[in-house]
Amino acid sequence: MRETYTYDKSREAFARAMKVIPSGIYGHLGPAEGCYTPVEAFPFYSSKAEGPYVWDLDGNRFIDYMCAYGPNVLGYNDPDVDAAAAEQRALGDCTTLPSTKMVDFAELLVDTVASADWAFFAKNGGDVTTLAVMTARAYTHRKKIVFFKGYYHGVAPWTQKIDYAGVIPEDVMHNIYVNWNDLDELEAVFKKYKGEIAAVISQPYMHGNFMDNVLPADGFWKEVRRLCTENGTVLVVDDVRAGFRLDIAGSDHYFGFEADLICFCKALANGYNVSALCGKNFLKNTVSGMSYTGSYWLSAVPFAAGIACINKMKRIGAPQILIEKGTKLKEGLIATANKHGFDLRVTGVPSLFYLRIADDPTLMLHQEWIAECVKRGVFFTNHHNHFINAALTDADIAETLDIADEAFAVVKKRH
């Protein structure tokens, strides 16, 4: 049996943080909300990262299946991406004029992404989901936006729940929520709000938290596409999380349809800070007419990194590799669970898999198992999907299964 990790230095640093940062570590990287990892198993701070690994402040090494919640797609500190970024940095990054790396990157995305006639760059996923909704409203002169329940499109007021702190009812009064894969409901909504729906916004499949992830039903996207087209509604795909892990040409392409607008962020530049809205020609003039920018949005280093990242993903066939590695891990995990009499559900596309031990509806059993994995060096999470990166080796997968095995044994013994 392995020795389990301890996190003394992380705890000390967190105590310092609580004095000067609201909630110490906020958002999805924090112990309170983000990782949904049991807090006693959660390491809090990283000291370094390399390839598929992250080390915490106490020197514990983890095989990292969160990949910074997506940005790490080629492996941390990928030499090709870092070299391209360093070369650009020596010339200039955030200057009074953009670099032509911006043009090169837009051309590369237009060449790569099936539904992209143009690209617009920003910094957050939320910058581009917000621009997508504003573009749809400007183009259609309509107000209503259809969401699929379980969605996440960032933290801007328009996409928050009505009871979120700081959100006022006016922020979300034109939002309509329908169930994923429910075409009858969607069709009814289009009928009820005829001529009023500016956009349907959706992730390419339902990868929400605290629920098994759900792929689109047969024919679902084809019908959504048809309903949008017939109703003059803009179809927005939020590919911030899944983008380039399913298909280098976009997750809409993977599922056999074309979005009008598609949002990218996480896997775009292997961790360098950039997001992109891509879209169809008929919306280009609308976007051209909008005043939408930010202090660092046209910085050159992330464009250079993004070019290197996309080119390398294309060269090695990254999405296929990630799906293959994820499938190998998935099959191994299910078999390991079965050995101990557990029913482990692995849902979603394997490059972006979600885990749940189905034997316990309270999810506490699952949480116990996750904790035992994390404390032994496999960074899984509890109620959020995971991410595969291209630096993950067969040896890493074998070690993961070995640790998962030990963790199942510990949990089995306890119950």
Q: How is residue 78 written in tokens?
A: 């990928």
Answer for which of 39, 79, 87, 92 binds a copy of itself (CB under 8 A) is 92
- How far does Cα 117 stand from its chain's mean position? 23
> Which residue stretch of 170-178, 189-197, 250-258, 320-328 sits at the interface with a copy of itself (rule: CB under 8 A)?
170-178
Q: How far is Cα 269 from Cα 81, in angstroms, rounded to an integer?
A: 8
> Which residue stretch of 202-210, 272-280, 318-326, 344-352 sits at the interface with a copy of itself (rule: CB under 8 A)?
272-280
Q: How is residue 155 written in tokens?
A: 């933290």
> Which residue stretch of 106-114, 186-194, 329-337, 350-358 sits at the interface with a copy of itself (rule: CB under 8 A)?
106-114
| Least CB distance to a copy of itself at residue 386 (A) | 11
Q: How far is Cα 296 from Cα 22, in angstroms, rounded to an integer?
A: 25
Residue 208 touches a copy of itself, criterion: CB under 8 A: no
Task: CB nearer to a copy of itself: give 64 or 368.
Answer: 64
Burial status of residue 34 (CB atoms within 10 A of its CB: 0-12, 13-18, 19 or more)? middle
| Least CB distance to a copy of itself at residue 101 (A) | 10
Answer for which of 58, 61, 80, 118 binds a copy of itself (CB under 8 A) is 118
C-alpha dihedral (44, 161, 164, 27), degrees to nearest 10:
10
| Contact string 222-261 vs a copy of itself (x = CB under 8 A) | ------------------x---------------------
8 Å CB contact between 254 and 290: no
Residue 360 touches a copy of itself, criterion: CB under 8 A: no
Residue 327 touches a copy of itself, criterion: CB under 8 A: no
Residues 6 or more apart whose Cβ sits within 8 Å of residue 382:
35, 36, 37, 38, 363, 366, 367, 370
Q: How far is Cα 43 from Cα 396, in angstroms, rounded to an integer?
A: 20
DSSP labels, 196-217: TEEEEEE-SSB--SSS--BPPP
| Least CB distance to a copy of itself at residue 185 (A) | 24
- Tell me the one-letter amino acid at 62: F
| Strands (E) located in 136-269 | 144-148, 175-178, 197-202, 234-238, 261-264
Residue 166 touches a copy of itself, criterion: CB under 8 A: yes
> Which residue stretch of 62-70, 178-186, 211-219, 400-408 sits at the interface with a copy of itself (rule: CB under 8 A)?
62-70
Total chain residues near a copy of itself (CB under 8 A): 115
Answer for which of 133, 259, 310, 344 binds a copy of itself (CB under 8 A) is 133
As a whole number of Å, the end-to-end CA separation of the chain is: 18
Residue 292 touches a copy of itself, criterion: CB under 8 A: yes
Task: CB nearer to a copy of itself: give 111 or 343.
Answer: 111
Answer for which of 126, 208, 216, 250 binds a copy of itself (CB under 8 A) is 126
Count other Cβ atoms within 10 Å, centred on residue 89. Answer: 14
Answer for which of 36, 38, 57, 262 binds a copy of itself (CB under 8 A) is 57
Residue 83 touches a copy of itself, criterion: CB under 8 A: no
Q: How far is Cα 255 from Cα 251, in angstroms, rounded to an integer?
A: 6
Answer for which of 58, 61, 114, 156 binds a copy of itself (CB under 8 A) is 156
Q: How far is Cα 59 from Cα 371, in angstroms, rounded to an integer?
A: 18
Residue 11 touches a copy of itself, criterion: CB under 8 A: no
> Which residue stretch of 162-170, 188-196, 326-334, 343-351 sits at the interface with a copy of itself (rule: CB under 8 A)?
162-170
DSSP labels, 295-343: TTTT-HHHHHHHHHHHHHHHHHTHHHHHHHHHHHHHHHHHHHHHHTT--
Residue 364 touches a copy of itself, criterion: CB under 8 A: no
| Least CB distance to a copy of itself at residue 214 (A) | 23
Task: CB nearer to a copy of itself: give 242 or 265.
Answer: 265
Please, which of residues 302-321 interact with a copy of itself by CB under 8 A? 302
Residue 383 touches a copy of itself, criterion: CB under 8 A: no
8 Å CB contact between 250 and 259: yes
Residue 291 touches a copy of itself, criterion: CB under 8 A: yes
